[in-house]
Structure 1
Amino acid sequence: MKKFLVPIGVVLAVVIFLAMLIMPKYNSFVQLDETVNQKESQIETQLQRRGDLIPNLVETVKGYASHEKEVFEDVADARARLAGAEGVSELSEANDEMTGALSRLLAVAENYPDLKASEQFTGLRDELAGAENRIATARKDYNEAVEEYNRQTRLFPGNIIAGVFNFEKKPYFEASEDAKEVPGVDFNTNQEDNSGDE
């Protein structure tokens, strides 16, 4: 019986030793994963906050520029896509589409001096700028958390533990190549329409 106690004791010692090495790293991955999830939630919250401003902004612009139907439809479509986006990749793409649509909407406002002078429009535009800043901060915080998480899942021995426990690489919240291009706006057609309205 004593012959079996020594090997069992060695095996138990090795298991305990491995558990002591693995448990802290595993717990670290869980904490990093939760941090990334929390930061992703912050992005979603800020995108929702901006999304809540958009109907008021659109209605304000419509009051002055009702014939800009295509721009309003683009904003509505982008907002719907953003609301239905799931996961960081879809959120990122939908956010890029929304940013482009909002840029076109705000460019339309440049053609209407009365609209630009409107307190309601100015207030909404300022709130929108604040929302964009909060989104940028949330995106930066998320990407920093993802960077730390991804680094830890690739470093040895973390890469082994990450592989065993399925801690997979997380995507960054990045702008698409299309979003990096400034949207073109043609004011000539708007000016002709405006002169025809007068």
Structure 2
Amino acid sequence: MTILIVIVVIVVVLGLMAIGTYNRLVALRQNTNEAFADIDVQLKQRLDLVPNLVETVKGYAGHERGTLDEVTQARAAAASAGTVDSKIAAENALSASLGRLMAVAEAYPDLKANANFMNLQSQLSDIENKLAAARRYFNNAVREFNASIQAFPAVLFAAAMGFQPREFFDLGADRAAAASAPQVKF
């Protein structure tokens, strides 16, 4: 009889541990989803701002057609990205093309003095700062989630319950391109 009670207690304790671990993993997965949704909000604001910025620059630097087209195409790709990985890649390409657009703008003193451009540039800078903070928060949430599904006892059943590691929001292969200053040629 004592052995049966011990077995029941062990099963109950293991069951409670499994339920607690599962609930923690669900909460962490929701946290990563929420963190990515915050990034998505900032990305949407940036996508809404880009056409105004391109049109303002176009009025001053019409012969910089390649750069303007590149920004427009990158924005379209970012807007149509469906998966997290494709969204990350498209947003990294958009960030790089926006950097080149700002470098072009530096070459036009009249444009730099334009109040509309200055306002748009300020808004873009603000969004980029918020986006950087949202990315850091997302990456922290992903780190915590990934560590939790790889830690004992969750590692025993996390994969079987559908918990897969998440990818960080990283520059990846575009890191070198983003780190180097864009070249402006006339």
The two structures have a TM-score, normalised by structure 2, of 0.91
Alpha-carbon separation, structure 1, partners of 2:35 and 2:182: 33
* More deviation, 93-102/25-34: 93-102
Aligned-partner SS, 1:172: coil
The answer to whether residue 33 in structure 2 is matched with residue 37 in structure 1 is yes
The answer to whether residue 59 in structure 2 is matched with residue 63 in structure 1 is yes
1:12-27 to 2 correspondences below 5 Å: 13-27=9-23
1:175 to 160, 171, 175: 171
Q: Indicate conservation of the 8 Å contact 2:106/2:112, yes or no.
A: yes
Aligned-partner SS, 2:45: helix
Match of 1:104 in 2: 100
Match of 2:153 in 1: 157
How large is the Cα RMSD of the aligned pairs? 1.9
* More deviation, 176-185/62-71: 176-185
Aligned-partner SS, 1:131: helix
The two structures have a TM-score, normalised by structure 1, of 0.85
Q: What percent identity do the matched residue pairs reach?
A: 37
Alpha-carbon separation, structure 1, partners of 2:106 and 2:184: 12
Gaps of 5+ in 1: 190-198
**What amino acid maps onto 1:185 in structure 2?**
Q
Gaps of 5+ in 2: none
Match of 1:195 in 2: none
Please give the per-residue CA displacement for 1:97-149, whole angstroms capped at 9, x wherever unaligned. 00111011111111211100000000100100000001100000000000000
Alpha-carbon separation, structure 1, partners of 2:31 and 2:41: 15
Q: How many corresponding residue pairs?
A: 183
Alpha-carbon separation, structure 2, partners of 1:28 and 1:152: 9
Alpha-carbon separation, structure 1, partners of 2:126 and 2:52: 15
